[in-house]
Amino acid sequence: MKTPEYLIALLSLASLGACTSVTIDEYQNASTELGSNDRIVVLGRRHSAEYETEPDLISCVAKTISSNSSGVSVIPEKQFVDELYPWFEPRMAPMQPKRLAALIKEPKLKQKIDEFNLRYLVWIDGNTQTTNSAGSVGCAIGPGGGGCFGFGSWDEKSDYEASVWDYQKQSLVAKVSADAKGTSYMPALVVPIPLLARVQSNACKGLGSQLRDIFVSDPSGGAQE
């Protein structure tokens, strides 16, 4: 049985569509010390009027940090923000580590944070957006059937920066940035077949893995590049 040529062409495109480039940069100015009961929280910045750090990206990074038996306990973002309401709402969330000191003058807030055994906060700012699109796909239906024909493509770009704050010392521990780019394709030969570049997902994995290395003590004595 011969493989149809268009199927080969689609598979070739699929391999192209899977390509996403991710660049991770890290700056660390202090080592981390996570005790056995210490926990961290990963929070999204939501103060910008033009974009919003996606909640699914935050939960993906949190999941990646606690994966691979890392032993890092991550407080779910929603639970943390709800139980400390309204101190981590966009209007009131601290923008600098030293402002945590002013925040915990509210005794109930300090008590609640202590109950969480919070040691580090990870703030993630950024988003994923479509930067360019080209081509078109048209669909038609008639008495004899229907189908779609055409070709579309679009570029996506993720740009995230994570800041790690030490709650106890109220200082910045590290910054990690993740830039990811990729192009998705949508060829349509009767049936449209989306070949998606997993840009946000790859940015999440890159960012999450790098953050996990910051928190997990490394036998070689430093964070991995």
What are φ and ψ of residue 65, in 5° steps? -65, -40
Given the rule CB under 8 A, which of 23-31, 81-89, 131-139, 146-154 is the region that contacts other proteins?
81-89
Q: How far apart are CA 210 and CA 222, in angstroms?
A: 12
Nearer to other proteins, 25 or 106 (CB): 106
Which structure tokens are listed for 156?
Answer: 């996506």
**Are 173 and 165 a contacting pair, CB within 8 Å?**
yes
Nearer to other proteins, 49 or 191 (CB): 49
Which structure tokens are listed for 5?
Answer: 């040529």
Judged by CB under 8 A, the residue of 22, 24, 103, 193 near other proteins is 103
Residue 190 engages other proteins in binding (rule: CB under 8 A): no
Judged by CB under 8 A, the residue of 83, 134, 168, 190 near other proteins is 83
Nearer to other proteins, 203 or 223 (CB): 203
Residue 55 engages other proteins in binding (rule: CB under 8 A): yes
Residue 141 engages other proteins in binding (rule: CB under 8 A): no
Nearer to other proteins, 81 or 164 (CB): 81
Residue 143 engages other proteins in binding (rule: CB under 8 A): no
- Calculate the CA 96 to chain-centre distance: 21
| Among 129, 109, 115, residue whose Cα is nearest residue 52 | 129
Which structure tokens are listed for 64?
Answer: 């990646």
Q: How far apart are CA 25 and CA 219, in angstroms?
A: 21
Residue 85 engages other proteins in binding (rule: CB under 8 A): yes
DSSP codes, 45-57: ----SS----HHH
**Are 18 and 184 a contacting pair, CB within 8 Å?**
no
Q: How far apart are CA 152 and CA 150, in angstroms?
A: 7
Nearer to other proteins, 51 or 154 (CB): 51
Residue 50 engages other proteins in binding (rule: CB under 8 A): yes
Judged by CB under 8 A, the residue of 71, 90, 135, 146 near other proteins is 90
Task: Give the residues lining the site for other proteins (CB under 8 A).
Answer: 46, 49-52, 54-56, 82-87, 89-95, 98-99, 102-103, 105-109, 112, 129
